[in-house]
Amino acid sequence: MKVLVTVKRVVDYNVKVRAKADGSDVDLNNVKMAINPFCEIAVEEAVRLKEAGTATEVVVVSVGAKQCQEQIRTALALGADRGIHVETEGAVEPLVVAKLLKGVVEKEEPRLVILGKQSIDGDNNQTGQMLGALTNMPQGTFASEVAIDGDKVNVTREVDAGMQTISLNLPAIVTSDLRLNEPRYASLPNIMKAKKKPLDVFSPADLGVEVTSHITQLSVAPPAERQAGIIVESVEQLVDKLKNEAKVIS
């Protein structure tokens, strides 16, 4: 069984993101970049399926500028077998990414596609669902457990009421949540081996997709700074401030 996994290049989650002075975008100068955390969980799940003998090949794909190959190599060092880079310029919105991934799915014909449920930069949570609609493949989102059962995959997903387990016919799409697993660290020998693993590069035209934009980013601004809290001396004082100053109770 071939498993296709997507990875996205984002600002490392440990970095404090800053907006540019003119408010046009996020300042990425000299900022550490990394694999989107949810995508890293997706890679780990695919590698575990291979280690268990369920998957025979793990292919990792990324959409973006040439620098994305750094994150693809990282995924290869984590245990993926082969990389695919769909090279684009500038920001690419989720619908276009989904169309490009559809082209890759048609080329590779994987039995299972695993994506991170969302990226920590755009925070859209759209690509997996859009890919499911475009490919007409069943999807299990927000997965906290994935189990292959013959020609089906059982996905335990997190919903508002608790946990829900669904059964999907393969081929299928799964998006990973935080509780699915804990990603491993790449060892130095595997990092060296990853440099020799195959990595194919495609353009959107190779996949029959025209990159267009339907969204215009107007501005980027930091969140409002939180005011410092105070220490109250009694319950009565707390109630008074909640009632008369914060006006959250009556």
DSSP per-residue codes, 166-218: EEEESSEEEEE-GGG--PPPPPHHHHHHHTTS-EEEE-GGGGT----------
* Residue 57, pLDDT score: 97
Say how many domains are in the chain: 1
Radius of gyration of the chain from Cα atoms?
A: 21
> Is 105 a domain residue?
yes
Q: What are phi and psi of 205, to 5 degrees?
A: -65, -35
* Residue 111, pLDDT score: 97
> How many other CB atoms are found less than 10 A from the CB of residue 130?
19
pTM of the entire predicted model = 0.87
Asked whether 23 and 78 are in contact (CB, 8 A), the reply is: no
Q: What is the pLDDT of residues 5-55, one digit of tens each?
A: 999 999 999 998 888 989 888 888 889 999 999 999 999 999 999 999 999
Q: What is the pLDDT of residues 72-101, one digit of tens each?
A: 999 999 999 999 999 998 889 999 999 999
pLDDT classification of 217: cutoffs 50, 70, 90: confident
Residue 137: give its domain's CATH number. 3.40.50.620
Is residue 227 predicted with pLDDT exceeding 90? no
Contacts of 216 (CB under 8 A, 6+ apart): none
Q: What is the pLDDT of residues 144-167, one digit of tens each?
A: 999 999 999 999 998 888 899 999
> Is 237 a domain residue?
no
> Is 30 a domain residue?
yes
> Is 236 a domain residue?
no
pLDDT, mean of residues 200-209:
95
User: Could you tell me the two tokens for 230?
Assistant: 């105070």
Q: Which residue has the higher pLDDT, 226 or 68?
A: 68
Q: How far is CA 203 from CA 72, 94, 102, 209, 250, in A?
A: 16, 17, 14, 9, 61
Is residue 110 predicted with pLDDT exceeding 90? yes
> Is 96 a domain residue?
yes
> Is 242 a domain residue?
no
**Which residue matches tokens 């245990």?**
79
Largest Cα separation within the chain, whole Å, is: 69
The H or E element containing residue 235 is helix 235-244
> Is 240 a domain residue?
no
Domain that holds residue 16: 2-225
Q: What is the pLDDT of residues 116-135, one digit of tens each?
A: 999 999 899 999 999 999 99
Is residue 250 predicted with pLDDT exceeding 80? no
pLDDT classification of 214: cutoffs 50, 70, 90: confident
State the average pLDDT for the chain: 93
User: Could you tell me the two tokens for 125?
Assistant: 């949570």
Task: Give per-residue burial for 74-90: e unless 16+ CB within 10 Å, then b.
Answer: bbbbbbbbbbbbbbbee
> Is 17 a domain residue?
yes
- C-alpha 238/C-alpha 247 separation (Å) is 12
* Residue 192, pLDDT score: 95
